[in-house]
Amino acid sequence: MQTELLTASAEGVARAGALLRRGEVVGIPTETVYGLAADALNPSAVMRIFEAKGRPSDNPLIVHIAARAQLDALVTEVPAAAERLASLWWPGPLTMIFKKAACVPSVTSGGLSTVAVRLPAHPTARAVIEAAGCPLAAPSANRSGSPSPTTAAHVTADMDGRVAAILDGGASGVGVESTVVDMTREVPRLLRPGGITVEMLREAVGEVEVDPAVTAMLEQGVVAASPGMKYKHYAPRANVTLVRSAAASYAAFVNAHAGEGVAAMCFDGEEAALTVPYRTYGARDDAAAQARRVFDVLRGWDDDPTVTQVYAACPSSDGLGLAVYNRLLRAAEFEVIVLDD
């Protein structure tokens, strides 16, 4: 397949819309990460997403809409708490899970009776949805399990020849996938942390539970209700190990393990103490910078095939830091070394 490279112009958006109406798959920008989009109501089009990604078909997809009014056709009810969250953060990096309407195919919802819906803030994403004339299923535009893409170049590296087109809308502003909240429960439950933090959610609607799978492996036999819960995600080819410690202890640990293939993923300004190759991903106290850079740095390790072991300095698990921590936990397959206790 020849993949078209489109710009975020009126012509590029129109071309993307035409391809999507034909049942093709198109890589599109959003404010979180790039998505791999297809008509969410067309089962054969959605299956092309799974084929392009190599994604397990029991992993549900997020349906993207261009306006709040489009939600009602996709779901059976919208709780008052969901209306409150939508009024605050739609458009934005917030996905909510509802009981699905009959029009949503099983393949889109991963066989579940629920559907995840988001109204993205990126103007090009909304323009493409409008041009397509349908809601778009759009998981991250990477091969399944690898770090998510935050630029069109990342998408091209993974998807060239596998999708009909890739639309370049610049670098993603948030850098990690959307917050996912299950609104079908009596108490809303956070299933995946993102740019809308659990603290923000609680301030808006009161009690919000945090699913144990946010910071731990999903229990055997439990059905994943959201993307990013069930499988190893976001990982480069090198093994990643998280190291939770102060800066000095982290540097001492990494230097003690220096050797062929060992590298460090550390915070800005803390690299001088290291004796191994390193990449920085934001200051220790700047979760927003960490979120913007974490996937780019994880992807960067694949540019150096000599790196086989990466020791990553562990971010905070508060606020937006929880989203970065969640992604690195899955990249590391939950391998965490705790020092300084």
- Residues 15-27: tens digit of each pLDDT: 999 999 999 999 9
What average pLDDT does the segment 111-116 reach? Answer: 96
Whether the predicted pLDDT of 340 surpasses 80: no
Which residue bears the tokens 């942390």?
193
Per-residue burial over 228-255, b if 16 or more Cβ lie within 10 Å, else e, is bbbeebbbbebbbbbbbbeeeebbeebe
The pTM of the full predicted model, rounded to 2 decimals, is: 0.95
pLDDT digits (tens, 9 = 90+) for 63-93: 999 999 999 999 999 999 999 999 999 999 9
| Cα–Cα separations (whole angstroms), residue 200 to 31, 80, 176 | 18, 17, 17
**First and final CA of the chain: distance in angstroms?**
54
Distance CA 188, CA 205 (A): 9
Per-residue pLDDT at 58: 75
Cis peptide before 91 (omega within 30 of 0): yes
Per-residue pLDDT at 231: 55
| Cα–Cα separations (whole angstroms), residue 300 to 266, 271, 304 | 14, 17, 8
What average pLDDT does the segment 195-213 reach? Answer: 97
Q: Which residues are CB-neighbours of 333 under 8 A, at least 6 positions away?
A: 232, 235, 240
Q: Across all residues in the chain, what is the average pLDDT?
A: 95
Q: Are 37 and 139 in contact (CB under 8 A)?
A: no
Distance CA 29, CA 31 (A): 7
pLDDT digits (tens, 9 = 90+) for 254-304: 999 999 999 999 999 999 999 999 999 999 999 999 999 999 999 999 999
Whether the predicted pLDDT of 144 surpasses 90: no
Per-residue pLDDT at 10: 98
The one-character DSSP state at 95 is E
What average pLDDT does the segment 124-151 reach? Answer: 95
